[in-house]
Amino acid sequence: MDLKYESNTMMGKFNAVSFMFAGLGALVMAEFFYLSRFSHGVEGMCLSNSWMGEDLIGVSLVSLTVFVSISSLVASDDDYSVDKEWMKFFSTVVLVGVMCVMVFSMSKVFFFYFFFESSLLPTMVLILGWGYQPERLQAGLQMVMYTVCGSLPLLSLIGMILVSSGSDSMLVLHMLGENTMGDYNLLWLFLFLGMLVKIPVFMVHGWLPKAHVEAPLSGSMLLAGILLKLGIFGVCRVLYFSGTPSAEFSSAVMVISMWGGVICSLLCLCFFDLKSIIAYSSIAHMALSLAGIFSYNSLGWMGGLCMALAHGVCSPVMFSLANYTYMCSGSRSILLCKGILKSMPALSSMWFIFCGLNLGCPPSANFFSECFLFCCIMGSSWVMIIPLLMMCFLAAGYSLFIYSSVNHGYQSKLMRSHQGLSTRFLCSMVVSGTILFAVFINLDVMFV
């Protein structure tokens, strides 16, 4: 009895602290509006010491990391219990956030690679330690195999670059202005392979849906909100310090990412597991962001960054909604968790808002980022208009498919009676939605 009372008292104090830190996360995310006056790229990097630096994309992703990390802790109250060793869980989530902050702050290539790959370890601990099914072992092993196979060629080429240039500073490598890989497309592929696995691009994406399905809520939120952005950030950094690949390589990456996004969007209409649908929609959104970056257009760079930030807020919230729906119905299948609109209209309204944001309704940041990306990608090649239109149509299709399947229809008998949404759950939803709607107001300041 004393242990239970002590646990409840401890949880009450932790919930109060969670509210405070959630507010802090919103403030840090709002700080992004002020810090957006940083110049673009490494040219605008401000060195704080010999191995750390700040620029627009790094600072904005650091703010996103703080926000998503705190939100994942606030949303994962079910994982805080004595028998689940909540202090280890808390420390693991914080460690993931710290690793990602270090990645976004590094100006040395070797330290960047070290923290880039080290972020895998605490993520593995989250999946294996607090996952739900025995299949989490297979998901963790698959994630490790994909990451190792992509990172070893990257490590060897980074070593070659450091030996040839005599420096591992991104600023020095950028100022040298050398095209390190020349026109050897195979070397460019090896250099970018570690980043493409982390994004992930279609054909090297097999680890992500399984990792999402087997991960706890906080693991899914961190994967979607932060860890996928490591790949986008890595592509931007590699382009800055290694030069521009050949036109053939860039076109191949754009074609694979765009048509891979179309295939993943189609797969979203074939699955019944909510987590799988949201995971494949993440692959489609990141494919669009990657194509914008490889267009080598300032508008594409703007759209790619804005898409990454908007997805980093919207996708974790959708995983949180899927988890809350699972808590109410005992199932993540859209065939079994129907009729939420009748029993929980507040949860249904949250599904409506964030499904709308996911498909890019105005005036959200998703909408403006898609406008930027559509303009630059079609400007680079008119052939791309076909996959672009298909992705636009399919995004609306699977977003409406999720909302209508979960909220309408005959109410499932599995749906348990519930007292309603918790206060902190509603607060986290409101804060996330406000950020997504408000980001567009600052777009003119951010990209001037």
Distance of CA 390 to the CA centre of its chain: 22
Whether residues 12 and 117 share a domain: the answer is yes
Whether residues 149 and 291 share a domain: the answer is no
d(CA 227, CA 147): 12
Whether residues 367 and 423 share a domain: the answer is yes
pTM: 0.85
3-state secondary structure 262-284: HHHHHHHCCCCEHHHHHHHHHHH
Q: Which of 193, 213, 245 is the last residue of a domain?
A: 245
d(CA 251, CA 302): 19
Q: Which residues contact 263 (CB under 8 A, 6 or more apart)?
A: 202
Per-residue pLDDT at 48: 52
Per-residue pLDDT at 287: 93
Whether residues 223 and 276 share a domain: the answer is no
Whether residues 343 and 229 share a domain: the answer is no
Whether residues 241 and 265 share a domain: the answer is no
What pLDDT tens digit does each residue of the chain (448 aa) get? 444 444 444 444 444 444 444 444 444 444 444 444 444 444 445 555 566 667 778 888 888 888 888 888 877 766 555 445 778 888 898 899 999 988 998 888 888 999 999 988 999 999 998 887 888 888 888 998 998 888 888 888 888 888 887 777 887 777 776 666 667 778 888 888 989 999 999 999 989 999 998 888 889 999 999 999 999 999 988 888 887 888 888 889 999 999 999 999 999 999 989 999 999 999 999 999 999 999 888 888 888 888 998 898 889 989 988 988 888 887 888 888 887 887 788 788 888 988 988 888 887 788 888 888 988 888 888 888 899 999 999 999 999 999 998 888 776 666 655 545 555 555 555 555 555 555 544 444 444 4
Q: What's the number of domains the chain is made of?
A: 2
The domain in which residue 45 lies consists of 1-245
Whether residues 34 and 80 share a domain: the answer is yes
Per-residue pLDDT at 12: 46
Whether residues 50 and 197 share a domain: the answer is yes
Q: Which of 245, 266, 286 is the last residue of a domain?
A: 245
Q: The tokens of 296 are what?
A: 């080598």
Per-residue pLDDT at 399: 92
CA dihedral sign of residues 5, 10, 15, 16: positive
Whether residues 121 and 178 share a domain: the answer is yes
How crowded is residue 160: how many other Cβ atoms within 10 Å of its Cβ? 14
Amino acid at 101: V
How crowded is residue 262: how many other Cβ atoms within 10 Å of its Cβ? 20
Whether residues 126 and 160 share a domain: the answer is yes
Whether residues 232 and 371 share a domain: the answer is no
Whether residues 133 and 269 share a domain: the answer is no
User: If we measure between CA atoms, which residue out of 242, 275, 241 comes closest to residue 132?
Assistant: 275
Q: Which of 181, 216, 245 is the last residue of a domain?
A: 245
